[in-house]
Each structure stands twice: as C-alpha cells, then as structure tokens.
C-alpha cells in the first residue's frame, strides 16, 4: 500500500494564491498522537555505524591558544598573523592533543575562534561538564616559550609558503611524523632563539614527495583534503596521523595522486576539508571510490569537539509529527508545495553561521521550511551543537538527513568498487543514525535523479530502514533535474515509500539558469502556469535577488 505523498514533508503549504486553499482545517490536526510512533526509535548504541575518527582520552585541562585571526595570507609580515602563524598554532595544538590521546599529557590546547561563535562556546561548556578546566589564554609563541609542552616538541618543520605553497601540506604530514611544529622561513630566527631546531626541511618538497616519503607512516582510515594556502584541519590531521593532500598546485593538479590515495584508504573513509575548485571535479572521484566527503574547512578543535562522541548521543532526538494523525480529504483539488533548503551537507556552515542566519530566520515558520542537515556527521563532530539544533527546532520545520553520510553523488557511490556491498553498508550505517536520532526523512544527492543507478540507491536505503517516511532527491546542476518526478518503492513491510525529486529551484545563476530555476517571481509564474498537484522547491542557500535584496532564503 502507498502512504500519502504528503507524509514526506508533513509541513506542506498551499500555493499562496488567493484562489488556493489548504482544504484542511485546523481541527483536522487535533487528533491525539499515537505514542508508539514517537517512541519508534532505537536507543543510542554503537552498532558499527560510526565512521568518523574518534578521540577517547579526556584531558584535565586546556590552554586557549590565541589565533588573533584565521587569515591565510602567506605574505603578511607580522609575527602573530598570517598563514605562518596559524600553521604553527595548528601544529602545536595537534601535537599536544595527540599526546593527550596517547596519555603523554594531561593538558590539551584549544584554538581560539577569533569570531567568538556560540557553537564553540557550546563545545567548551561540554568540556566543562566532562570535568575539563580552562587554564589560561596565551598566544602560540608564548605557549611555546612557557615550556609547558617542551617535552612533546622535538623541533620544527621548515616551510617556505611564499615560494612553495605545497610545503604547507607537506609540513602538516611531517609534523606528526617528527613531533615538530610548523615554522615558516619568515619566522625561523624567532623559533631558533626559543631553542628549537629544524628536524625536517619542507621548503622544496611537494605533496607527491610527501606521499612517497611518508605514506607508510600515515593512517589510512581518513584523509584531509585542503588547499595548500590554508591552515584548516592541520591540528586534526596531526592528532590522527593523516595524510594531507591539496589538489591544486602551481603546476596544475594532483589528480593522479588523489586517485592513488583514495584507493589506498579503507572503504567508506571520511574525507575531511574542502578544496577551492569546481566541487564536482573532486566529489565525483570521492563518490566513485566509495568514500564520504565531509565539508569542514574553517573548522577548529575537532578532536576536542568530537571527544568520545559515541557516548554522547543521548537526548539528540528531532521533533516530528505523526502523519497518520492527519486527515487527508478525498478528491483534493488543491495544489501543494513544500520548500527545502540546499547545502545541508556543509558541516562547517551548519556549525558556524547557519543557526542564526538561516535556521532561525523569521520566515522559516511562515513557509514551513524543511532543512537538510548533516545529522550523521554533525552528531559525531559536535554533539552539543547538534543538540542545540534539535532542541530549538520549530514545530513547522522538518529536519532531514542530508546526502546520506556525507557529500556524495549516491548514484555513482562506489562505482569503482563493489558497488552494492558498499552501498548497502552505507545505507545500514545511515539507518542506524537516523533511527537513533528519530530522523524520518532522507535527502540524497545525485548526478542523474532518474537513472537506474539512482533508483537502485533509493531502493537500498528504503529496504534498510522501515522507519523511513520518504526520500528527497536533489540532482547536481541543475538541482531540479528530476523535474518533480515521484517514485514509490516498497520497504520490508510492504509499505510503499515516496521518493520525491525537486521540481523547481530558487536559484540566481542569471542567464545560466536551467529551466525551472530562477527568481521567486519566475518560480511563482511556473506554479501558476503549470499547476502541478505537488511541487518540492529547493531554495539555493547562497543565492540573492535584487528585488528582495537579501540573501536567499527569500
């Protein structure tokens, strides 16, 4: 049997025209909910679903390393600014926090967020609840001079990021090999005067050199993928002994190296970070190799925000309604639409600025907006931030697991591996997360929403999860490539579950927009002209429109 199409996004709204009515009175929503639906959740348990790296040892305290700014300017001459300084701070934190995990230190380092974002405050409050105290706040050079961690620092890795940007990612790998901080030639004399010695010279090294030299000493359970002129995620890479890879370099791209590294990784490995390239060019390769892209550039302190995450999954339940308690009128002739916000796979965006700028925007309630969020990854990376989201979820807004484990194109997932085996394994892991967090709707990203491979992926996720109410499908460029097509597939209980593709997209790409993509006025005209019974409209999170003069949302 089929569940009503409207189960998928329970907060549907009418078309908004004067001659369009919802057809359902408020009294129809007053039926007392059945408790068994809300209690149909799995208790928090580690049943093999956790794919992100873990730190387990709780420090007694931490020192706040003042970053001053997160700029990646490689030409800034000031000692405590620019990429040379932030690289040093990242490496210092990585070495010290790895020592905590190895029980060689009881004190950790927390990298200051110069923007003072509330999400980091939540994570520090969680550390306090675990008995971890803040010791003091000092800049990175002062922490080095204090001698607090002198027994852990064996010297420095020397870079020349101005003349050889790739010396920066090379140094991140060499740092965890040699227990050495990263120092740029700009500041070498300062660290020499502190008494540190160069233990590795990365000035002329390339990322390919680092792979040839250090491959056998790196952890193949994950990879950090970041541009060479960035400081992001170096602390995390050092804590977990990861290889750090940049795709773009001065002479071209490291595509062959990326393919080799992806083949070297364990199946379904998380790829942390981001690259400043056409995203499809590298996410496609990651998808084909059966790995999970976790967009988390600009992120600080991940080894501490994710500390013991498997034991911190209680009370992380999203709010839902029981669609079975709604009354659906017979022969309904009304036209319904529902809105879904894009880019919910982006961990760093959801963590940093999404809450105030999008989630709590004043109009989300009015349009009953559904939010895709990286519920699987965020609940592991920062449980208190995830809890803050579910605790403040509006009753009119649905939370959707976005992309099913990471930014991947599900129709090409593991296409170069044992596809069905890896797809089924991923679906089972995502199912465990969704059932333990009471997430009822899944969002998937595809290259071709109507392809045979995509249909197989939909079926695989539906067969894996009998608590799934439906799947939202977004196609990569254009998002509405599925043209509003709806598919039905039976779960293991014989109940047919809807798979709904995006029909229209609010997107400002100017003359390059595809059919069905455009301004609010353009999409409203399509709705009136075409009169579809139901339309899922994807709102592009980064678009702005001159007639409204604010960033999309509206």
| Residue ranges of domains in the chain | 61-305, 329-551
Q: Which CA distances in Å does 453 have to 10, 409, 417, 450?
A: 28, 11, 14, 8
SS (H, E, C) 250-294: CCEECHHHHHHHHHHCCCCCEEEEECCCCHHHHHHHHHHCCCEEE
CA distance 34 to 403: 30
CA distance 154 to 316: 42
CA distance 16 to 7: 20
pLDDT at 548: 53
CA distance 169 to 225: 9
CA distance 169 to 244: 6
Smallest CA-to-CA distance from 314 within 217, 397, 383 is with: 383
Which stretch of DSSP H or E encloses residue 338?
A: strand 336-341
3-state secondary structure at position 479 = coil
Q: Which are the contacts of 227, defined by CB distance < 8 A and separation ≥ 6? A: 246, 247, 248, 274, 275, 276
pLDDT at 18: 31
Residues of the chain with pLDDT under 50: 1-34, 549-554
145: number of CA atoms within 13 Å, CB side?
A: 10
Smallest CA-to-CA distance from 356 within 347, 364, 345 is with: 364
CA distance 370 to 11: 8
Tell me if 114 sits within 8 A of 89, measured CB to CB.
Answer: no
Smallest CA-to-CA distance from 264 within 234, 223, 233 is with: 223
Smallest CA-to-CA distance from 226 within 241, 239, 207 is with: 207
CA-based end-to-end distance of the chain: 38
Looking at domain 329-551, its CATH superfamily turns out to be: GxGYxYP glycoside hydrolase, C-terminal domain (3.20.20.490)
Which stretch of DSSP H or E encloses residue 490?
A: strand 486-490
Smallest CA-to-CA distance from 158 within 130, 140, 142, 178 is with: 178
Quick one: how far is CA 128 from the chain centroid? 25
CA distance 107 to 96: 8
pLDDT at 24: 32
Q: Which CA distances in Å does 151 have to 85, 194, 196, 233?
A: 21, 14, 12, 24
């Amino acid at each position: 049997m089929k569940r009503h199409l409207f189960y998928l996004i329970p907060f549907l709204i009418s078309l908004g025209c004067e001659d369009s009515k919802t057809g359902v009175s408020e009294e129809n929503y007053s039926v007392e909910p059945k408790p068994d639906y809300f209690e149909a959740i799995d208790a928090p348990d580690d049943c093999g679903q956790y794919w992100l790296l873990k730190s387990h040892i709780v420090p007694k305290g931490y020192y706040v390393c003042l970053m001053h700014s997160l700029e990646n300017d490689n030409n800034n001459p000031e000692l405590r600014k620019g990429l040379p300084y932030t690289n040093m701070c990242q490496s210092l934190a990585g070495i010290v926090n790895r020592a905590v995990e190895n029980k060689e230190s009881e004190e950790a380092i927390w990298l200051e967020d110069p923007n003072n974002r509330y999400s980091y405050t939540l994570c520090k409050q969680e550390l306090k609840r675990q008995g971890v105290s803040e010791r003091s706040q000092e800049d990175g050079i002062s922490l080095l001079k204090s001698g607090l961690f002198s027994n852990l620092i064996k010297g420095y890795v020397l870079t020349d990021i101005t003349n050889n940007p790739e010396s920066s990612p090379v140094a991140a790998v060499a740092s965890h090999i040699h227990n050495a901080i990263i120092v740029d030639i700009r500041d070498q004399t300062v660290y020499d005067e502190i008494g540190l010695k160069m233990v590795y010279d990365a000035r002329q090294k390339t990322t390919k050199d680092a792979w040839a030299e250090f491959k056998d000493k790196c952890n193949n359970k994950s990879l950090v993928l970041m541009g060479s002129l960035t400081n992001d995620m170096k602390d995390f890479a050092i804590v977990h002994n990861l290889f750090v890879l940049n795709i773009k370099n001065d002479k071209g791209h490291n595509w062959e190296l990326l393919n080799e590294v992806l083949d070297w990784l364990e199946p379904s490995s998380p790829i942390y970070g981001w690259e400043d390239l056409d995203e499809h060019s590298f996410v496609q390769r990651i998808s084909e190799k059966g790995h999970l892209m976790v967009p988390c550039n600009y992120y600080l302190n991940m080894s501490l925000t994710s500390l013991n995450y498997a034991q911190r999954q209680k009370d992380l339940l999203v709010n839902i309604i029981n669609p079975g308690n709604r009354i659906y009128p017979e022969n309904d002739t009304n036209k319904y639409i529902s809105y879904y916000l894009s880019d919910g796979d982006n961990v760093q965006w959801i963590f940093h600025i999404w809450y105030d700028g999008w989630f709590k925007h004043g109009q989300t309630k009015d349009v009953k907006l559904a939010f895709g969020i990286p519920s699987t990854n965020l609940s592991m990376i920062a449980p208190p931030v995830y809890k803050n989201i579910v605790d403040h979820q509006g009753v009119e807004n649905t939370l959707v697991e976005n992309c099913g484990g990471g930014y991947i194109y599900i129709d090409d997932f593991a296409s170069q591996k044992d596809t069905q085996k890896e797809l089924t394994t991923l679906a089972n892991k995502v199912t465990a997360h969704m059932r333990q967090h009471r997430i009822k709707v899944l969002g998937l990203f595809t290259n071709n929403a109507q392809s045979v491979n995509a249909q197989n992926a939909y079926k695989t996720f539906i067969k894996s999860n009998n608590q799934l109410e439906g799947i939202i499908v977004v196609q990569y460029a254009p998002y509405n490539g599925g043209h509003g097509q709806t598919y039905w597939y039976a779960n293991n209980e014989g109940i047919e579950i809807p798979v709904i593709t995006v029909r229209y997209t609010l997107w400002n790409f100017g003359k390059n927009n595809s059919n069905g993509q455009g301004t609010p006025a353009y999409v409203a005209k399509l709705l009136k002209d075409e009169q579809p019974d139901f339309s899922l409209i994807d709102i592009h999170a980064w678009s702005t429109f001159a007639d409204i003069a604010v960033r999309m949302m509206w």
